[in-house]
Amino acid sequence: MRRTTLCAALALCFLACEEGPPPAATEADAAPSPPAAPSSDAATRPAPAGDAAPPIVAPAPDAAPPPAPEDVPVEVGDPIGGALRPPAPPVAPPARARKRMNVDQLNAAVRAVSGGIGWTEVRGGVEIDLFEDLSATLGKPDYAQVTRENLQPTALFQKLFDDAARSVCATWIARDLGAPVEPRLVPPDDADVDAHLRDLVRRFHQRAVPVGGADEARWRWLLDSVTFVTGEPVAGWNAVCVGLFTHPDFYSY
């Protein structure tokens, strides 16, 4: 993509330099002419020495006169009844705050969406649930030393959840390519890609995506652009998967 853009830019640049034949030489390009001899016209006669008035220059005979100014209607009066302060903005109805999922909700949600795949790793032959292993880092209190649950989407949370998304998505893709079971991330070859994308958004975010709308176009664009850059459709679906997990519509509500 970058190479193509650069080439296009360079080509446009050179084409711009090539527009039209080179301009023909004009009288202005000729050797400079000596200053004009004084004219006998009084309008252009220079002022005698010792007089401070500037020389009068008459306009060119064929210059168009400036247009007459337009009348702009001006009203006098106070449209808001004389108040010095603007009217108060409308009071928004009370609402709740958007909340981040806690660690337990995240763990359950990831497994529910992926059909049972969790964020795990094997240590010493034992499968460790990393949501539980890193729960303190992700804000879960132990109520011995930490008594308040941190539900802010901090940079550390974003980083760790990004790791979780990539791990789960990679495992999901491997399952789809090896022994696919529902739910599928990578659709069958004959599947309607747009419909599958809409199903995925509904599965991850519980949102209905209008057919052919901007929302669908954005996810399709992500899929297509990553596929184009990498040349691997699987990479495109991986990007969609990670994007759906790390979107605020997944981890917050």
Partner 1 sequence: MRQITGLLALLCAWTGAAHGQVAPPTPAAADAVCAADDPTLVPGRLARALSLDLRGALPAPDEVAQAEAAGGVPDALLDAWLASPAFAGQVVRFHRGLLWNNVENVRLLAVNSTLQLDRGEGVWWRRNPARVYRGDDVPCRGEPARWDADGRLEVDADGREGYVEVAPYWAPDAPLRVCAFDAQDARASALGTDCATTAGSTDPGCGCGPDLRWCTAQNVDREVNRAMAAALERLIFELVAADAPYTELFTSRRAWVNGPLTYFYRHHLGLPRGLSLEPAPVDVDDLPELDWTDEDAWTEIRLSPAHAGILTRPAFLLRFQTNRARANRFYDAFLCQPFNPPDGGLPVADEAEARNPDLQQRAGCKYCHALLEPAAAHWGRWAEQGIGYLAPDDFPVQRDDCTQCALRGVGCSRECRTFYVTRALAPEEAPYQGMLNAYQFRRDAHVRNVEQGPRLLALQGLADDRLPACVTRRAAEWLLGRPLDQPGDAAWLAARSRDFVQADYSYRALVRSIVTDGRYRRVR
What does the binding site for partner 1 look like in residue numbers (CB under 8 A)? 1, 3-4, 7-8, 10-11, 14-15, 17-18, 91-99, 101, 104-105, 108-109, 112-113, 141-144, 147-149, 151, 202-203, 205-208, 213-214, 217-218, 221, 224-225, 228, 231, 249, 253
Nearest residue (CB) to partner 1, 4 versus 33: 4
* Shortest distance, position 105 Cβ to partner 1, whole Å: 5
Helix (H) or strand (E) holding 123: strand 120-123
Nearest residue (CB) to partner 1, 22 versus 188: 22
Nearest residue (CB) to partner 1, 40 versus 152: 152
* Shortest distance, position 215 Cβ to partner 1, whole Å: 9
* Shortest distance, position 46 Cβ to partner 1, whole Å: 48
Contact between 158 and 246 (Cβ < 8 Å): yes
User: How far is Cα 245 from Cα 253, in angstroms, rounded to an integer?
Assistant: 13
Q: Where does residue 42 rank: exposed (0-12), middle (13-18), buried (19+ CB within 10 A)?
A: exposed
Nearest residue (CB) to partner 1, 10 versus 47: 10
Contact between 47 and 55 (Cβ < 8 Å): yes
Among candidate residues 233, 122, 253, the one with its CA nearest the CA of residue 185:
233
Sign, Cα dihedral of 128, 130, 136, 139: negative
* Shortest distance, position 63 Cβ to partner 1, whole Å: 38
* Shortest distance, position 137 Cβ to partner 1, whole Å: 18
Nearest residue (CB) to partner 1, 32 versus 93: 93
Q: How many CB atoms lie within 10 A of CB 137?
A: 14
At 227, give phi and psi (nearest 5°).
-60, -40
